[in-house]
Amino acid sequence: MSTLQITPSISQLRRQLTPWRDEGEQVALVPTMGALHQGHLSLVRQASAMAQRVVVSIFVNPAQFAPHEDFAAYPRTLKSDCDKLADTGVVDLIFSPPPEEMYPPGFATGLTVGGPALGLETDFRPHFFGGVATVVAKLLIAAMPHVAIFGEKDYQQLLVIRRMARDLGLATEIIGAPIVREPDGLALSSRNVYLSSNERMIAGTLNKILADACNQVRACGPIAEIEKQSTNALLSAGFDSVDYVAIRDAQTLAPIEALEQPARILAAAKIGRTRLIDNMSI
């Protein structure tokens, strides 16, 4: 049974953080949408290695879901999330606001994002990064943490948030944390619970196909050809559709023609109604 206090309001959050900051303690924020798994808990552990105080936010952000997406069905497991966070022994506070606290009636402000937000996820989920950037900016302004930790699983999101924080002059340092994987290499995701057992087997091929593509890029294979072959390999493995397999500059996500700088392979593909994303450094 969790003994961690859940803070529902921004004003209460600020009141709780003030004495810690006044004492000179570093504060780390781990923003989440709940449905916590080992990947989230690894972010929490990284946060505690970087700061004396760890705040975890749990908020399923309606602004980053399109009307046809899974906002209503998104797993909400607040009680077990709190137990998992309490079990880590390093979390000081959970911020879990109701929707009207983050989006009060009449809310009419949103961030427009460019740069690393262009292409890839944005081609398929045009609303997504605006919604993410807006809620993360609100969380960073509310908590004013020294650092905030985000998983590299959502690599494009990490770059968009880093750019947003820099562009708005927010004082928080944005830290990326490595992807946590299942034994077969499937990246942990709250959406993996949607997979049937057959779909779960197919899902386990995504990381292998990407790892194979990385090796081909390192061996100087032609980038466009590797992207096409990997797409076909995913379809042959049982994915129903592939949104993209893209080999990009690791910092800007601009297309590249050869491996002359740090690069990243990113992919999104659907099995049934579940959309999976993954990425790897090359």
Where along the sequence are the contacts to ligand PAF (CB under 6 A)?
A: 31-33, 61, 64, 132, 135-136, 154, 157
Nearest one of 239, 238, 31 to 135, comparing CA atoms? 31
Nearer to ligand PAF, 98 or 222 (CB): 98
Nearer to ligand PAF, 93 or 136 (CB): 136
Buried b / exposed e across 247-258, counting CB within 10 Å, b at 16+? Answer: bbebeebeebee
Q: How far apart are CA 62 and CA 66, in angstroms?
A: 8
**C-alpha 8, offset from chain centre:** 22
| CA-based max dimension of the chain | 58
Nearer to ligand PAF, 131 or 210 (CB): 131
**Local structure of 272: helix, strand or coil:** coil
Q: How far apart are CA 18 and CA 103, in angstroms?
A: 23
CB 40 within 8 A of CB 82: no
CB of 150 to ligand PAF, least distance (A): 6
Nearer to ligand PAF, 66 or 211 (CB): 66
Would you please indicate which residues are annotated as catalytic (active-site) residues?
40
| Backbone φ and ψ of 249, nearest 5° | -60, 130
First-to-final CA distance of the chain: 43
The residue with tokens 């900051």 is 21
**Local structure of 276: helix, strand or coil:** strand
CB of 63 to ligand PAF, least distance (A): 8
**Local structure of 93: helix, strand or coil:** strand
Nearer to ligand PAF, 32 or 231 (CB): 32
